[in-house]
Amino acid sequence: QQQVKQSPQSLIVQKGGISIINCAYENTAFDYFPWYQQFPGKGPALLIAIRPDVSEKKEGRFTISFNKSAKQFSLHIMDSQPGDSATYFCAAAVGGGADGLTFGKGTHLIIQP
């Protein structure tokens, strides 16, 4: 499976600020781009996902921005809260994800009160 590169590896944001995590991919066949949130000792939980026919998707405080030509997508967390402190993974898949996901290495996000 092709690689998905995620940055930064760790991120500290003040409460109320905007957290931004970036991902880049190589395989132009990818057509599904989900973001997962993982708390210590838990499995990843789907946060938000986007398909390449749109450039932005917003759900509450979470927004995915997608740049098809640059092969990049990013997660923005508005008004970041201490409860958002977790590890975030981007992923990408072909065929809507039915055949498995390729994950980035994750971003440890800490929201300071």
- d(CA 36, CA 68) in angstroms, rounded, equals 20
- The residue from 63, 66, 73, 104 that contacts other proteins (CB under 8 A) is 104
**Interacting residues with other proteins between 7 and 36 (CB under 8 A):** 32, 34, 36
Mention every residue, 6+ apart, whose C-beta is less than 8 A from residue 53: none
Answer yes or no whether residue 101 interacts with other proteins by CB under 8 A. yes
Give the residue with the Cβ less far from other proteins, 2 or 14: 2
E strand spans, 1-113:
4-7, 10-14, 19-25, 33-38, 45-50, 56-59, 62-67, 72-77, 86-92, 102-103, 107-112
According to the binding rule CB under 8 A, does residue 96 interact with other proteins? yes
Pick 12 or 78: Cβ nearer other proteins:
12
At 84, phi and psi to the nearest 5? -85, -10
Residue 42 within binding range of other proteins, rule CB under 8 A: yes
Shortest spacing between CB 27 and other proteins, in angstroms: 14
CB of 9 to other proteins, least distance (A): 8
Q: Which two tokens stand for residue 24?
A: 């880049």
β-bridge pairing 10-14 and 107-112 = parallel
Binding interface with other proteins (CB under 8 A): 1, 6, 32, 34, 36, 41-46, 49, 89, 96-106
